[in-house]
A and B are shown apart, each in its own frame.
Chain A
Amino acid sequence: MSPWWRLLIYLVAAPLLGGLLAGIDRRLSAHMQARQGPPLMQPFYDVIKLFCKERLTVRRSQNYFILFFFVLTVFTGALFFCGSDLLLVFFALTLSGIFFVLGAYKASSPYSFIGASRELVQMMAYEPAVLLTAVGLYMVTHSFQVDTIASSTCTPILLLPGLFAALLYVMEIKFRKSPFDFSMSHHAHQELVRGITTEFSGPTLALIEIAHWYENVMLLGWIFLFFGTHWAFGLSATAAAFFLLLVVDNVCARVKWELALRSTWQITLVLGCGNILVLWLVEVLRIVKL
């Protein structure tokens, strides 16, 4: 399919899918807690309501940072789904995260300051695993282009199980779920009032929510990328991974940032670097034997 068609489909379908995923998330979590939970369309009702609210700001410029965060998040997902360079996708994602943090710093309240610092710590925690994912996928498919990786004949998950496990571990951070939701947390949870989103209200908060929907769809796309051309298996594996993230969210309590950072780096080092080291050793041994 032409990249332009994929871009159009992504721009329209990703927030719808992301909102539906958020609804499924809340409903499933509720059922795990022996209660009914909100309707599946609840995130859409929330966002529509937020757009009808008054726009309160501490400083006027803080909302422009969030607008940039939104635009860059959509841009990152568009890059990914149109098959562009994976490294560029990761760097664009980092840039959009930085704008989110800058917006919170601009709001100059103690809660948003601490939330912004914690968001930076979260980014520091997940960046190594995400970059190693690009390295690992390159080693297996010899390309950084998402198009080539997605259509490669070898299935990356078979050669990169450790890296996949490390990526699932940091997905808990990216999806902003317990135990790693110390920067901001979803609806019913609070952390330092609302953490990084404390000083945003109304339409700006709605934009942050929609940006997270776009981001979540792209994150699930990363997981799907590990399964190569086996579409049916990849889709069910992605759904299973999402369900696993939900289960861990409901089971674990929130940890402090020191534990999150340390444990994420340890897992990335052992599983991620270890996987890549093993792959490299196998490659070296193969060349030496030849």
Chain B
Amino acid sequence: MSSLQKSPWVIHYDASSCNGCDIEVLASLTPGFDVERFGIVNTGNPKHADIFLVTGSVNAQNRIVVRNIYDQMPEPKVVVALGCGNILVLWLANVLGFVKL
């Protein structure tokens, strides 16, 4: 697992967010914050990625897309839900039984 710590490759997916977190994600790639010094690369290909970064809320329309991207990623993989846009809504939706991922 330590090799994964040195080189985590990220795929970022925006599931209907307000784009606030997306801007932050992309800003972290800029020279100001430079997340590449940790070996993190924003790869656009789920087949190359280790971390699935989801911003925004997963709803009925993009549920299939999220599942599709998740399935394409090779093990070992991690899903990170970014921002309050999705965590609260996802928790509520799961509790109320709207969404089952």
| Contacts A33-B31, A37-B36 given; does A190 touch B4 at CB 8 Å | no
Contact: A30 with B74, CB < 8 Å? no
A197 to B75, CA, bound (A): 18
Per-position contact with A for B1-12: 1 when CB-CB < 8 Å, else 0? 001101100000
Q: Is B20 an interface residue (CB 8 A)?
A: no
Query: By the criterion of a CB under 8 Å from any partner CB, how many residues of chain A are at the interface?
Result: 31
Per-position contact with A for B53-96: 1 when CB-CB < 8 Å, else 0? 00000000000000000001011100000000000000000000
Contact: A194 with B31, CB < 8 Å? no
Q: Return B32 CB to nearest CB of chain A, in Å.
A: 8
Contact: A56 with B74, CB < 8 Å? yes
Q: Is A193 an interface residue (CB 8 A)?
A: yes
Contact: B43 with A187, CB < 8 Å? yes
Which chain A residues numbered 31 to 57 have a C-beta less than 8 Å away from chain B? 33-39, 42, 45-46, 48-49, 52-56
Q: Is A200 an interface residue (CB 8 A)?
A: yes
Cross-chain contact of A38 among B32, B37, B45, B75 (Cβ < 8 A): B37
A46 to B40, CA, bound (A): 10
Contact: A53 with B74, CB < 8 Å? yes
Which chain B residues numbered 30 to 52 have a C-beta less than 8 Å away from chain A? 30-32, 34, 36-39, 41-45, 47-48, 50
Contact: B36 with A38, CB < 8 Å? yes
Contact: B31 with A49, CB < 8 Å? no
Mostly, the A contact residues are loop
Q: Is A63 an interface residue (CB 8 A)?
A: no
A190 cross-chain contacts in B, Cβ below 8 A: 43-45
| Contacts A53-B75, A53-B76, A193-B44 given; does A34 touch B39 at CB 8 Å | no
Contact: B39 with A45, CB < 8 Å? yes
Q: Return B95 CB to nearest CB of chain A, in Å.
A: 32
Q: Return B7 CB to nearest CB of chain A, in Å.
A: 4
Q: Which residue of A lies closest to B47 (CB)?
A: A201
A54 to B32, CA, bound (A): 34
| Contacts A30-B34, A37-B34, A54-B74 given; does A46 touch B39 at CB 8 Å | yes
A36 cross-chain contacts in B, Cβ below 8 A: 34, 37
Q: Which residue of B lies closest to A51 (CB)?
A: B3
Cross-chain contact of B47 among A34, A37, A200 (Cβ < 8 A): A200
Contact: B37 with A37, CB < 8 Å? yes
B32 cross-chain contacts in A, Cβ below 8 A: 35
Q: Is A249 an interface residue (CB 8 A)?
A: no
| Contacts A30-B34, A38-B36, A45-B3 given; does A194 touch B74 at CB 8 Å | no
Q: Is A188 an interface residue (CB 8 A)?
A: yes
Cross-chain contact of A49 among B3, B30, B47 (Cβ < 8 A): B3
A288 to B76, CA, bound (A): 72
A200 cross-chain contacts in B, Cβ below 8 A: 47
Contact: A201 with B31, CB < 8 Å? no
Q: Which residue of B lies closest to A199 (CB)?
A: B47
A46 to B3, CA, bound (A): 8
| Contacts A38-B36, A202-B74 given; does A52 touch B3 at CB 8 Å | yes
Q: Return A226 CB to nearest CB of chain B, in Å.
A: 34
A30-B34, A36-B34, A201-B48 are known; give 7 further A-B pairs, CB within 8 A: A35-B37, A48-B3, A49-B6, A188-B29, A194-B48, A199-B47, A201-B47
Which 6 pairs of residues, A with B, have the shortest CB-CB distance? A35-B31, A54-B74, A45-B6, A35-B34, A49-B3, A54-B75
